[in-house]
Structure 1
Amino acid sequence: MAKGGSGRISLALTPFSVAIVALTAAVLYLMNRPPICTCGRIDLWVGSASSPRTSQMLADWYSLSHIVHGFLFYGALWLLLRRWSPEHRFALAVSVESFWELVENSPLVIHRYRSVTAAIGYTGDSIVNSVSDIVMMAVGFFLARRLPLWASIAAVVALELVPLYEIRDNLSLNILMLLHPSAAIRAWQAGG
């Protein structure tokens, strides 16, 4: 993505961003989200999209979509708020991603995922997974800040194609199925 501003810019988590993530974790706790997987473990990776541990551990195939969020937020905020410093755009991206984690774990959206997407057994995220998803977005934002535009585009395409091949799902299909469900896509995702 194009670089805004000049000089060396640090995108380390600012105190504001850390506070937003901590507040998000606290609100998720008040929403009765489990702090960790109810299985009592914290694993680094869950490789099966249909596992009951998906969205419970630190990372899974859906973590890649949160990295894509970071690339997309960086690009959109660079275009729309170019006069803002990268730190301010980053803080806004963290805020938006944190808000999404709250919405995604609301009973309404959990029910929507279960009823119209391939995530039939989805019960919402653990708090550790939600915080990890925000960190994944930050990784994507940081990469978009550092990589040339062509590499950012290639990364987003790869981050969409790999899970599409491996688990028949990605950010694009996830959005499509939430907003305009397709029985044919759902059957294809289920292996039919």
Structure 2
Amino acid sequence: MTTAELSPPGSASKRWLLGALALLLLQIAILHVMGRIPICECGYVKLWEGGVNTSGNSQHLSDWYTPSHIIHGFLFYGLGWLILRRAPLTARLSLAVLIEAAWEIAENSPMVIDRYRTATMALGYSGDSILNSAMDTVFMILGFFAAARLPVWLTVAIAIFFELLTAYIIRDNLTLNVLMLVWPVDAIREWQAALP
């Protein structure tokens, strides 16, 4: 990754960057229209929510699912590199923000919330606060830029570390989350339900 690629000159790059920002703001606006709460119903904002099956999970600035969103950034950087290799980094960033924002909106739809409740360990999940959802996208962006700067081997190592860490601590991670949404496995559900 060259310095020129990380910060290409010209107004096109600035337009792509503004496009990414506009997509994040559109995500926030759509979540608001969908009736999502701005912040935790508790009335305050925490930097970190360490509980998994708590009312504060997915409501504050960060939680145990934050590493999954950083990994999203790694994956979306790789996707952008594959399909938009000649495009400026900011164009690839806009694609990443578009995908993440679309997921955040879908994730907070009644259909996906109900799917989480029935198929995954998130039995009491009621959706993200707007703040948490926006921060999920911000953490994806941080992961995207980290992947742009770090060697591939280190990016992969960090992703594996995050997956193993969260699987060990909360019995969930990006891989298990996707698996349980798409193809629930009873043995995994029972293992996750045994979380102290």
Normalising by the residue count of structure 2, what TM-score does the alignment of the two structures yield? 0.92
Distance 2:138 2:104 in 1: 12
Q: Does 1:80 align with 2:87?
A: no
Alignment match, 1:37: 40
Distance 2:92 2:156 in 1: 20
Shift of the alpha carbon at 1:76? 1.7
**CA RMSD after TM alignment:** 1.6
Alignment match, 1:93: 96
- Runs of 4+ in structure 1 over 4 Å off: none
Alignment match, 1:152: 155
Q: Residue 17 of structure 2 contacts residue 91 of structure 2 at CA under 8 Å; is this kept in 1?
A: no
Normalising by the residue count of structure 1, what TM-score does the alignment of the two structures yield? 0.94
Counterpart amino acid of 1:20?
L
Distance 1:77 1:102 in 2: 21
Specify which structure has the higher proportion of helix: 2
Alignment match, 1:9: 6
Q: Secondary structure at the match of 1:90?
A: helix
Percent identity among equivalent residues?
50
1:1-192, aligned counterparts within 5 Å?
Answer: 3=1, 7=4, 9-10=6-7, 14-191=17-194
Distance 2:34 2:52 in 1: 24
Counterpart amino acid of 2:63?
D
Unaligned 5+ segments in structure 1 are none
Counterpart amino acid of 1:163?
T
Unaligned 5+ segments in structure 2 are 9-13
Shift of the alpha carbon at 1:9? 2.1
Counterpart amino acid of 1:90?
L
Distance 1:75 1:151 in 2: 14
Counterpart amino acid of 2:125?
Y
Counterpart amino acid of 1:108?
M
